[in-house]
Amino acid sequence: MTQTTLTITPFEPRHRYAVDELIFRNFQVHTHLDWHEIDDWLAKQQTPVRLAWQDRKLVGLLAASNVLNRTCWIRVAAVQDSAPTQTIMQTLWESLTPELVRQGTERVSMLITRDWVEQQVRALGFHYDEDIITLRRIGESLPTSRFSGATLRPASLSDLDEITKIDHDAFIPPWQMARDEIQQALRVAALSVVALRNEQIVGYQISTIYRDGAHLARLAVNPQLQGQGIGGTILNDTLRRFFKRGIYSMTVNTQMSNHRSQHLYRHFGFQRNGYDLGVWSKGIV
């Protein structure tokens, strides 16, 4: 591609086929969609999605999550492999940023899942924040859990408001999940549980199943009650439920800076497996 004159447009449903072609036929693709497939996510997306065209051919895409507490994530980035990557990413970013600012965004983050992405976010002025680390455990042995006074039951969509509040109290931006993200997570989870004290929800977990085992996708406890064994009660129960399904391997991701969660996971036999991902961020106001 020798000419770099680009036309930038918002995403529209009629662009779905072109987006699918770009995503599935090129190497330079980044997706961080957690609980969604890309077609489903684009259909529901309310924040701006920008497309880059050259000679009526889609050569780039950049999309962010909904703004939550003045932060958002870059959820999708894609550039045609033969296209001038930096030029396209810069042009898309310059088009996307003003709309994010109008919606109240002050900071944008990106999880680096592919090497090509890190080079591009550097050029856009993003800075390294920290690593997300992955831990894994295998086997049936479990440590003795302390009594927490919590009872457990399956989570339901009627718990959504209470779960969302705990999530937002337990995590800081950009690690909080939006209400609609939690709702989708509960719908597709293999296992989701809430912990209660005095009939009030004080913690929750959401887990999935993948080819090689289970993944603890989310575990949160009311910050005022952390350190009282509730997280251990939830994790012990979760592992035992998967054991009954014949699943004895589990992974979990957490922030490098989240020492409390790492202590809990190490207590239950989780060990780092070397699969770490960097998080890069940029202030835009």
**Residue 15, token pair as written in the block:** 């662009």
Torsion angles phi and psi, residue 107, rounded to 5? -145, 135
When pLDDT is cut at 50, 70 and 90, the band that residue 41 belongs to is: confident
Average pLDDT, the chain: 94
What integer pLDDT is reported at residue 4 of this predicted model?
65
Residue 206 pairs with which residues in a beta bridge?
192, 218
- What share of the chain has pLDDT > 70, as a percent? 98
pLDDT at 49 over 90: yes
Distance CA 52, CA 74 (A): 16
pLDDT digits (tens, 9 = 90+) for 219-249: 999 999 999 999 999 999 999 999 999 999 9
Domains 7-125 and 134-280 share a fold: yes
182 φψ region: left (φ > 0), alpha (ψ -120 to 50), beta (else): alpha
When pLDDT is cut at 50, 70 and 90, the band that residue 3 belongs to is: low
- What would the DSSP string read from start to end of 16-42? HHHHHHHHHS-S-EEE--TT--HHHHH
Cα-Cα-Cα-Cα dihedral sign, residues 119, 123, 126, 129: positive
- The upper half-sphere exposure of residue 111, i.e. CA atoms within 13 Å in the direction of its Cβ, equals 21
When pLDDT is cut at 50, 70 and 90, the band that residue 261 belongs to is: very high
**Residue 242, token pair as written in the block:** 């998967």
Residue 132 pairs with which residues in a beta bridge?
255, 277
Torsion angles phi and psi, residue 56, rounded to 5? 65, 15
Q: CB of 71 within 8 A of CB of 173?
A: yes
Helix (H, G, I), strand (E, B) or coil at 130: strand
- What share of the chain has pLDDT > 90, as a percent? 89
**Residue 108, token pair as written in the block:** 């944008």
Dmax (CA) of the chain: 67
Distance CA 11, CA 206 (A): 31
Helix (H, G, I), strand (E, B) or coil at 175: coil
Burial classification of residue 157, based on how many CB atoms lie within 10 Å of its CB (0-12 exposed, 13-18 middle, 19 or more buried): exposed
Cα of 19 vs its chain's centroid, Å: 21
When pLDDT is cut at 50, 70 and 90, the band that residue 39 belongs to is: confident
Please enumerate in sequence order all residues whose Cβ is within 8 A of that of 184, keeping only pairs 6 or more positions apart, or say none.
35, 36
Distance CA 142, CA 271 (A): 14
Helices (H), 112-229: 115-123, 160-170, 179-188
What integer pLDDT is reported at residue 1 of this predicted model?
44
CATH classification number, 7-125, choose in 3.40.630.30, 3.40.50.1980, 3.10.20.30, 3.10.310.10: 3.40.630.30
The fold for domain 134-280 equals: Aminopeptidase (3.40.630)
pLDDT digits (tens, 9 = 90+) for 93-148: 999 999 999 999 999 999 999 999 999 999 999 999 999 999 999 999 999 878 89
Cα distances (angstroms) measured from residue 227 to each of 27, 54, 146: 44, 56, 11
Residue 62 pairs with which residues in a beta bridge?
50, 77
pTM for this prediction:
0.92
Helices (H), 172-283: 179-188, 230-244, 259-267
What integer pLDDT is reported at residue 212 of this predicted model?
81
Helix (H, G, I), strand (E, B) or coil at 49: strand
**Average pLDDT score over residue span 192-212:** 95
The domains of the chain are located at 7-125, 134-280
